[in-house]
Amino acid sequence: MSPSIPLNIAKLQQRIAEAEQKYQRKPGSVQLMAVSKTRPAAMIREAAAAGVTEVGENYLQEALDKQQELADLKLNWHFIGPIQSNKTRAIAEHFDWVHSVDRLKIAQRLNDQRPAAMAPLNICLQVNICDEPSKSGLGLTQLEDLAEQLVALPNLSLRGLMAIPRATDDITEQRRAFALLSKALDQLQPKYPSMTVLSMGMSKDMDAAIAEGASIVRIGTDIFGPRQ
Ligand SMILES: *Cc1c(COP(=O)(O)O)cnc(C)c1O
């Protein structure tokens, strides 16, 4: 298993470059995030040695432990899981990005708890793009309101949108969902020019996401293997 992490990353970078070319995206415009929930710190270290700089984690305590073990590395940490109010302080203190903001209360707390000495916390709003009752995220019609309230918070930097569409193997379906997120960003862009990031695409739908404008893809399985 272990020796395959650098190889998997090299293959992914190749796949990303091919998709950029195939879908007329600018070369190098799609960033790779390694999603490392449930994986030991040693695996992240291997990924970092293979060129990964962006690391995504879903669970706070697990992430904090790994950050400590990897403090000697220069990594950007992205929080991508659901956020409970009692976790906002540690998230504000220990992450560079949060991709899963979907309500004002959480944004407000992150803003208030972001240490003054740190750069503003980068935020993506999570959209429930397929309207699934089981999933986090706000509806497309609620986006503008939250964006408006969020840009007023000085310790946050509103950077873009994130979504986890319904799982399907049909690339046409995958593209349809990602296109909705992409269109939503286009509509917000004139009023909120700092919003340039589309956080979309996982191991099974990465190519569709790149086709529709992803700027950062969040990949776990295709880097580290299947989760237990
Ligand atoms: C687990 C997870 C991923 C990575 O999923 P894979 O299918 O393993 O690539 C991406 N984004 C989020 C929000 C996740 O929770």
Render pLDDT for 9-23 as a digit per residue (tens, 0 to 9): 999 999 999 999 999
* Percentages (nearest 5) of helix, strand, coil residues in the chain: 45, 20, 40
Render pLDDT for 160-192 as a digit per residue (tens, 0 to 9): 999 999 999 999 999 999 999 999 999 999 999
CATH 3.20.20.10 fits 4-224, yes or no: yes
Which of 35, 100, 127, 129 is the pocket-test mutation for ligand 1 (most atoms within 8 Å of CB)? 35
pTM exceeds cut of 0.95: yes
175 alpha carbon – ligand 1 mean position (Å): 17
Task: For the chain, give every domain's residue range.
Answer: 4-224
Asked if the model's pLDDT at residue 2 lies above 70, the reply is: no
In this structure, what are the phi and psi dihedrals at residue 31, rounded to the nearest 5 degrees? -95, 150
Which of 12, 33, 62, 80 is the pocket-test mutation for ligand 1 (most atoms within 8 Å of CB)? 80
Which of 5, 102, 129, 218 is the pocket-test mutation for ligand 1 (most atoms within 8 Å of CB)? 218
Residue-averaged pLDDT of the chain: 97
Render pLDDT for 43-66 as a digit per residue (tens, 0 to 9): 999 999 999 999 999 999 999 999
Per-residue confidence at 100, pLDDT binned at 50, 70, 90? very high
59 alpha carbon – ligand 1 mean position (Å): 12
DSSP sequence for 82-150: ---GGGHHHHHHH-SEEEEE-SHHHHHHHHHHS-TTSPPEEEEEEE-TT--TTS--B-GGGHHHHHHHH
* HSE-CB for 78 with a 13 A CA cutoff: 23
Q: Say which residues have a Cβ less than 8 Å from residue 68's Cβ, sequence separation at least 6.
A: none
Q: Report the b/e string of 60-76 with b at 16+ CB within 10 A.
A: bebbbebbeebeeeebe
Pocket of ligand 1 (CB under 6 A): 35, 37, 58, 80, 164, 202-204, 218-222
Provide, rounded to the nearest whole percent, the portion of the chain with pLDDT above 70. 99
Render pLDDT for 75-97 as a digit per residue (tens, 0 to 9): 999 999 999 999 999 999 999 99
Asked if the model's pLDDT at residue 228 lies above 90, the reply is: no
The rounded distance, in Å, linking the Cα atoms of 84 and 221 is 25
pLDDT at 3: 60
The rounded distance, in Å, linking the Cα atoms of 74 and 57 is 16
219 alpha carbon – ligand 1 mean position (Å): 6
Render pLDDT for 115-141 as a digit per residue (tens, 0 to 9): 999 999 999 999 999 999 989 999 999
Per-residue confidence at 1, pLDDT binned at 50, 70, 90? very low
Tell me, rounded to whole angstroms, the distance of Cα 192 from its chain centroid: 19
